[in-house]
Amino acid sequence: MAMATTNSEEVHLSAEQPSLICKKCNEFQATLQIRSESVCQKCFSQYIKTKAVKRMETYKGKRFSKVPQKLLLPLSFGPSSSCLLHMLDGHLQTQHERMNRASYELFVVHIDLYLDDTDREASAALLQKYETQYPKHSYTSYGLQEALQLEGINWASLGISDLPTQGNRASSLDLQRIVSSMSSATSRADIVSTLLNRLLVDVAKRNDCESILFGDTTTRLAEKTLTETAKGRGFSLPWQVSDGPSPYGIGLNYPLRDILKKEIMTFSSSTIPLSDLVVYQQPPSHISASSKSTTIDDLMAQYFESVEENFPSIVANVVRTSSKLKPTTDDTSKGCGLCGLPVAEGTDGIYGWGGDQNPDSRPSRENISSDTVLCYGCSRSING
């Protein structure tokens, strides 16, 4: 597995610079950089792990039960989710050593996307390697096509009526057929992301998990802030980028929210056994906004990759600001037929929103069937 190596992901000090002593321990040679501080490998690793563990501590709240929380951790085999698993495995081990018990347990779930039989076998083999390396947790995998049989999605509102029945398992071909029917690359990527989230929520609830721990970094959350806004789903940001309860009836948390992507890349590549487990995606070359295969997600990822290199505080400020947003929905809101998030009165569909944020000018829902409720973002994805 080839590792992505771009300048924007490097936080190593240049070999041409004179030897520096770590600014934190004042003992070892500094070979890495934390924002503007030169540090050694040991202090860098401790800094990254401490950030994640401190964030996990905030999720305990006023919970007095001695029964460990069951938390779902989606594992994509990429750097972020793999690092999160590695850090939390170490955190749980420390808890056992200190208190002979743990405050939570991990249910690790991998979702396969569009895999043929050969790829599925390779995916299962890699998941087994993770389980061998971190054996104290529960592991399972699903195919994304299983989202096609979720009862919580209103397929009729999407114009899809020929899905497999409950007695017949959906296939990856069924999934590809539906996704390929979308008119743009952004729409296709959006549908896949939405189905992935819905499947994870369903798996978490069926397995009695209290919340889902996503491996999104500061950089990824900043990307989502602008991406979801551009897609017309800005109303979802309180749940997409903030820690806490969600309309799905389950918590959505982001323990790596205080860590930059480039820091996670360095941590994963310099930490054993992560360097032998993680699947690194090849970084895209310059992305053309005019290309039909380019998605909004691609453009935002490229933008924030360049911003975090020289202006990491800007990336952090985007996330800090968007995390202050509060939901505007109330008891009259209804769930979107696709993403499942609550849609405020009169704002469903392309024409329901229309870009006008004046509540008095929004059309009433009186003549709209509840079976056809879609948020503006999902309406755009379905209709191009």
Residue appearing with tokens 């790596």 = 256
Instruction: Provide the pLDDT for residue 182.
Output: 86
pTM greater than 0.85:
yes
Instruction: Provide the pLDDT for residue 133.
Output: 98
Measured at the CA of 267, the angle between CA 265 and CA 268, to 5 degrees, comes to: 65
Instruction: Provide the pLDDT for residue 33.
Output: 87
Instruction: Provide the pLDDT for residue 286.
Output: 61
Distance of alpha carbon 148 from the chain centroid: 20
Q: Tens place of pLDDT for every residue, the chain, 384 residues?
A: 333 433 333 455 554 556 789 999 999 999 998 878 899 999 999 999 999 999 999 998 656 667 899 999 999 999 999 999 999 999 999 999 998 999 999 999 999 987 777 888 999 999 999 999 999 999 999 999 999 889 888 777 666 666 666 556 777 888 888 888 888 999 999 999 999 999 999 999 999 999 999 999 999 999 999 999 999 999 999 999 999 999 999 999 999 999 999 999 999 999 999 989 999 987 655 666 567 788 999 999 999 999 998 899 999 999 999 999 988 766 667 889 899 999 876 555 455 545 444 344 333 334 344 456 889 899 888 876
Contact 87, 52 (CB under 8 A): yes
Structural domains of the chain in order of their starting residue, each with its CATH number: 63-283+292-327 (3.40.50.620), 329-384 (no CATH)
Omega of the bond leading into 342 within 30 degrees of 0 (cis): no
Residue 163: Cβ-neighbour burial (10 angstroms; 0-12, 13-18, 19+): middle
Cα distances (angstroms) measured from residue 364 to each of 238, 329, 334, 361: 25, 15, 13, 9
Number of neighbouring beta carbons within 10 Å of residue 187: 21
Q: Tell me the Ramachandran region of residue 75: left when phi exceeds 0, alpha when psi lies from -120 to 50, beta otherwise.
A: beta
Closest to 73 measured CA to CA, from 138, 132, 122 = 138
Q: What are the percentages of helix, strand and coil residues in the chain, rounded to 5? A: 45, 10, 45
Instruction: Provide the pLDDT for residue 154.
Output: 78
What one-character DSSP code corresponds to residue 29? B
Closest to 325 measured CA to CA, from 216, 221, 172, 248 = 221
